[in-house]
Amino acid sequence: MDSSRWTRAGIGLAAGAALGIVLYAIGQAWPMAGAVGFIAAHLVYALVTRSQTGEWGPLRLSAGLVAFAVATYVGIIVFGNFGDPNAVDPVTYANTKAANSWALILTVAMVIGVVVTYGLELIQTGRLASLSGQFGTRTYLLMAVGIGVNIILGQTVASALKIPIYLDSIGTILVGVLCGPIAGAITGGLGNILWSYVIPPPFQYQPAAAFAITAVAIGAIAGLLGRAGFLRPRPNRSTGVLLIGGAVTVGLVGGLAWAASLAYTKIFETEISLFPDPAKVDAIFVVLGWLALGLVVFAVVGLFALLLLRRDLTAAYVVVAGVLTGIVAALISAPIAAGVFGGVTASGTDFLVAAFRQAGLDVEAATTGQGLISDPIDKVTTFFTVYLILAALATRFKARFPQGEMVLEEAPS
Amino acid sequence: MLAAVSTALAIGLGGIWGPALLTAVAVLLPAVVAGLAARLVRTALLLTLPIAVSVLVVNLFFYPAGREILFAIGPVRATAEGLAFALETLARIGAISGAITLFYLTTPAGDLVLDLERRGVSPRIAFVVLAAVQTVPALVDRAVAITAAQRARGLDTEGSLRRRLRGVLPLAGPVLLGSITEVEERTMALEARGFTRPGRRTLLWHPPDSGRQAAARWLLVAAIPLMLAARASGWLGWLG
Amino acid sequence: MLTFESVSYRYAGAARASLQDVGLVIGSGEVIGLVGASEAGKTTLCLVAAGLAPRTVRGTLIGRILLDGTDIAPLAIHELAGRVGIAFANPATQLSGVAGTVYEEVAFGPMNLGLSRSEVIDRTEAALSALKIIDLAEREPALLSGGQQQLVAMAGLLALRPAHLVLDEPTAQLDPRGTRLVAEALARLAVDGASILVAEQKTDLLASICDRVVALDAGRVALDGPAGEVLGDPRLADLGVAAPASVRLRRLADAAGPGPEALTQLDGALAMEATA
């Protein structure tokens, strides 16, 4: 990103953070404050961009985000509070109504957001250039390959390797980054539906369709991040810049994780900490806690090592992208996993869910907890894989894709 | 259509008996009519076995609201409530899984896509679906071919899990990258054959339809709101 | 008739132009061979002739391509599909990937063009019989041999009834049997009066079917004339092109001279040739 774009982004972030803090101070819940702050940040960035460069694109996207947020909020109010334990069936502890309503609300809200964003473009310019531009023969072919890769890798991991990650979004994110958010969203959604209903065994994975909405969100986010240039290689940066990048990433990720755990304890009214009192909780949780800490330390060390060894700043961007996407994915899919499947999807994540439930949490809290652990790890791995794939592709090849220019190194100015 | 509605119904109905009845009516009956019953049961069982085992284990032993202890194995305790929940979930999963398997056994993917295209789905989306379905076996074949080539070059493919895992990496690279870089050549070939022409294309064949099938479809769709209403008003009793 | 008028082409982001000031005329019913070293511009010329460059592959085109006198520049790529057909070296990537049988694969093009159902069927069957692959009609394209797949690809092109066929090294990835299949098919098409531009390294193939041969060197037309003349031209070696076997044999015989020692010399020279 050039410096003026950094400035504008900075202004937006500052405004959003300020608003979020104010909201929290006057008593709003963390997630609410965070979400509003984020949207406000993007809105300010878009307004500043419009006044500086005359571009309408970010502002339209902002309008879409606002519409999405409003629609989601209205939906939640209308359907009632789902995190409320009283809405849960006391016998089965499954809240199918909540799961279905959640998926429905999100779908409708996403559609509204998309309609607003592209509708504005249609009204203003009379055409849908940014939508149709995402699609072309190349896009359709890459989508097909992406769906195939999703299914093969996802199925292998789900059935053969019992590890708590999924690896079923590599294709989705690749298409999103190279072609655009809507293309990525369709790859994800269509892919999951095909995975459940159309692909024959042994590659069929029936639970997949329920999570189609998650895949749609992942594809859309990947597309937006790709458009923002997150996966552009940034080689040969000075050590100082690399260290700052690493520090910022760790700070961001740490902050996000802390905010997430705060929100978690507040919503589910339980106490989860990394260092539980051994007398109160089973040994398994203490072990898990230390394991998690170990993983975090390893990840931080690994990140810095990667940055300094390869001198490519994009490693930091990749981690941020992965964590962000992972948290969103977890929040979307947890209620679905809880409501439709009782938290069990025959994949390696089940033992994590079991562990949480052992600690006395209900299904929803368990799946959310599991998701918040598995998804960021999974998405960071996926984003890294996509980055590696992109690095292995020829420049001429990448350039011909709709968002291909955003993954090429910037020409020295 | 049947599969989608059955899935929705299964999710909506609670309890054990509801989904079980649903399975009997919506899944097994058509299967027997189509002569697919044995295959259906076999395939569905195969697919749901891992989920079923997981559900059973997780809920039997780790159900937090469980009070009535059935038996104990070391530190873990099995509870009656857990068993009830597990059975209920299993019944629901059985209905869903059965419906999906029936669908897959009776509907070739290509037919479905062609029918959708006839009704107005964009030929490009139809292309993505068909190509995606073909990609899965194509990638597997490519992986097999590359494995054979690598084995000829001395790569160890047997042996400990660790060695095999290390052997996967040199495989994943060429398979993934090969499929992706092919996109360029395939794009040229497709465009040179008129792929980008806007509008619909001529279909040589599509699955036949009849008035009865259309009527049946409407009935199925109507069943969903009916069921939701019935559930809400408590009318279903032990079924729901 | 396909005419190149002072055509230069540079790929997006490339340093030099791949084609420089190329002038060429392909009349209807003419079979023209295209030779040249690896990066001489053969593929680029084929892509430009078919309109894929600059539409699908991005780049800058200077000059004009005329199809029967009209500039093709304003035409979209799907409009050119029925006028110029192009086949590539890799048989597998030319398959659409969505056809369960060869019949559907060949019908893919006409189906895309939105022709009437009877028209699609007529064209598909005509194309299959022109290449004598009707017996392959119900087979799965992915399971065929390379040569057969290449024939299927060509049938797919013929079904579009293009005025001109362009083939970019169609036998490059085929085994000898596949090469023979394609060569025979091309010969038959040539006899039927098709207009063909075929780029190849295998000059033997070109010697048997081409009326004219054009040699490219670093993006420019170096030689352009009747097949016999150009293929016999000694300058071909400088251009990185191997002359056809018949020409090489004749040269060896000429060098060996008349007389019985000539036979021994010829033997030795042939042996050296075989190992070269």
Q: Which of A15-29, A102-116, A206-220 has the highest mean pLDDT?
A: A206-220
Q: In the predicted model, what is the mean pLDDT of chain B?
A: 68
Q: In the predicted model, what is the mean pLDDT of chain A?
A: 77
Work out the pLDDT band at C12, boundaries 50, 70, 90.
Answer: confident
Residue C191 has pLDDT above 90, yes or no: no
Work out the pLDDT band at A289, boundaries 50, 70, 90.
Answer: low
Q: Which residues of A touch B125 (CB under 8 A)?
A: 186, 190
The Cα A398–Cα A409 span in angstroms is: 11
Spatial contact of A267 and A83, defined as CB atoms under 8 Å apart: yes
Spatial contact of A36 and A23, defined as CB atoms under 8 Å apart: yes
Per the model's pLDDT, the better-predicted residue between C129 and B224 turns out to be: C129
Instruction: Look at phi and psi of residue A365 and say left if phi exceeds 0, alpha if psi is from -120 to 50, else beta.
Output: alpha
Spatial contact of B109 and B97, defined as CB atoms under 8 Å apart: no
Give pLDDT, residue B190: 93
Per the model's pLDDT, the better-predicted residue between A56 and B233 turns out to be: A56
Give pLDDT, residue A201: 67
Spatial contact of A220 and A185, defined as CB atoms under 8 Å apart: yes
Residue A281 has pLDDT above 60, yes or no: no
Mean pLDDT, rounded, for B187-194: 92
Option in C13, C56, C97 nearest A399 (CB): C13
Instruction: List the end-to-end C-alpha distance of chain B, in Å, as a whole number.
Output: 22
Give pLDDT, residue C33: 92
Structure confidence by residue, pLDDT tens digits, B49-96: 666 666 666 666 665 555 566 666 666 666 666 676 666 666 666 666
Cα nearest neighbour of A175 on chain B: B180
Per the model's pLDDT, the better-predicted residue between C237 and B62 turns out to be: C237
Give pLDDT, residue B31: 59
Q: How is B205-234 classified by DSSP, letter by letter?
A: ------HHHHHHHHHHHHHHHHHHHHHHTT
Structure confidence by residue, pLDDT tens digits, A64-83: 888 888 888 777 777 655 54
Give pLDDT, residue B39: 65
Mean pLDDT, rounded, for B125-139: 87
B206 exposure class (CB count in 10 Å sphere: 0-12, 13-18, 19+): middle
Q: Is B134 on the interface with C (CB under 8 A)?
A: yes
Give pLDDT, residue B41: 67
Spatial contact of A314 and A407, defined as CB atoms under 8 Å apart: no
B204 and C57 within 8 Å at the Cβ level: the answer is: no
Mean pLDDT, rounded, for B115-128: 82
The Cα B144–Cα B148 span in angstroms is: 6
Q: Is B65 on the interface with A (CB under 8 A)?
A: yes
Residue A222 has pLDDT above 90, yes or no: yes
The Cα A255–Cα A250 span in angstroms is: 8
Work out the pLDDT band at B189, boundaries 50, 70, 90.
Answer: very high
Mean pLDDT, rounded, for C114-121: 90
Place of tokens 């009283």: A86
Q: Which residues of B touch A96 (CB under 8 A)?
A: 11-12, 14
Q: Is A190 on the interface with B (CB under 8 A)?
A: yes
Option in B64, B127, B133 nearest A194 (CB): B133
Give pLDDT, residue A275: 45
Option in A137, A350, A360 nearest B195 (CB): A137
Q: Distance from A296 to chain B by nearest Cα, in Å?
A: 24
DSSP for residue B23: I
Cα nearest neighbour of B197 on chain C: C78
Residue A93 has pLDDT above 50, yes or no: no
Q: Distance from A356 to chain B by nearest Cα, in Å?
A: 9
Cα nearest neighbour of C58 on chain B: B188
Structure confidence by residue, pLDDT tens digits, C120-155: 999 999 999 989 899 998 998 988 998 999 999 999
Option in B131, B138, B193 nearest C156 (CB): B193
Structure confidence by residue, pLDDT tens digits, A153-171: 888 777 666 666 788 899 9
Spatial contact of C247 and C267, defined as CB atoms under 8 Å apart: no
**For chain A, percent helix, then strand, then coil, each to nearest 5?**
75, 0, 25
The Cα B235–Cα B60 span in angstroms is: 30
Option in A137, A144, A396 nearest C13 (CB): A396
Option in B54, B62, B129 nearest A190 (CB): B129
A393 and B177 within 8 Å at the Cβ level: the answer is: yes
C166 exposure class (CB count in 10 Å sphere: 0-12, 13-18, 19+): buried
Residue A58 has pLDDT above 70, yes or no: yes
Q: Is A413 on the interface with C (CB under 8 A)?
A: no
Work out the pLDDT band at A230, boundaries 50, 70, 90.
Answer: confident
Mean pLDDT, rounded, for A255-262: 70
Which residues 175-204 of A are in CB contact (within 8 Å) with C? none
Residues of C with CB under 8 A from a CB of A: 11-13, 56-58, 97
Per the model's pLDDT, the better-predicted residue between C167 and B141 turns out to be: C167
Work out the pLDDT band at A85, boundaries 50, 70, 90.
Answer: very low
Give pLDDT, residue C43: 92
Which residues 177-206 of B are in CB contact (within 8 Å) with A? 177, 179-184, 186-187, 190-191, 195-196
Q: Which of B218-227, C14-23, C261-270 has the highest mean pLDDT?
A: C14-23
Q: Is the ipTM of this complex over 0.90?
A: no
A158-172, A262-276, C148-162, range with the lowest pLDDT = A262-276
Phi and psi for C10 in degrees, rounded to 5?
A: -125, 130
Instruction: Look at phi and psi of residue C145 and say left if phi exceeds 0, alpha if psi is from -120 to 50, else beta.
Output: beta
Cα nearest neighbour of A137 on chain C: C56
Give pLDDT, residue B20: 54
Cα nearest neighbour of C103 on chain B: B204
Q: What is the pTM of this model?
A: 0.82
Q: Which of A31-40, A85-94, B193-202, C259-268 has the highest mean pLDDT?
A: B193-202
Work out the pLDDT band at A50, boundaries 50, 70, 90.
Answer: confident
